[in-house]
Amino acid sequence: MSQRSEFSPDTLSISLTEGGIAVEYTDGREVFYHGVPAKVEGTYTTAPGKEVHVLVTDPTETEGVLVYVNDRTTIDEIIDGTGVGRILVEKGEETTLFPGVEVGAANHRVTVTADPETARGRVFVFEEDELGERSIEIVAEK
């Protein structure tokens, strides 16, 4: 098994639509996260074993940064040149993904804690596997 590297994200073009969120990679390819994201206050923990992507938009919601969390299946050559970041968080550890966005790992799950005001944009978590996908927006706690 080959080792996976971490990558810093680049700013990507995004489009928020009624049907979901489109993200254009720097190599011209596009990914579409389907559905209107469910809103969760403050912290979200994914189901176990899911692929997890975190998107933080800029205040205009036309650009953002996308990071794959604990993705150990995509080879480096595929991620390199896309503008997508990748971070690997060990079990029991937490780290700052961006100002106002923390990620942690435990029991094959990823926990994302966010303060959108500090992040200065909207914070989305996408989790998916071969059975389906789910979109979440982390909103400020009331």
| Model pTM score | 0.95
Are the C-beta atoms of residues 118 and 23 closer than 8 Å to each other?
Answer: no
In a domain, 116, yes or no: yes
In a domain, 128, yes or no: yes
**SS3 of the chain: helix, strand, coil, percent, to 5:** 5, 50, 45
In a domain, 17, yes or no: yes
In a domain, 3, yes or no: no
Domain containing 124 — which CATH number? 2.60.40
Q: What percent of the chain has pLDDT over 70?
A: 98
User: How does pLDDT run across 41-89, given as a tens digit for each residue?
Assistant: 999 999 999 999 999 999 999 999 999 999 988 999 999 999 999 999 9
Predicted pLDDT of residue 1? 44
Domain span holding position 68: 12-139
User: How does pLDDT run across 4-20, given as a tens digit for each residue?
Assistant: 789 999 999 999 999 99
Predicted pLDDT of residue 129? 92
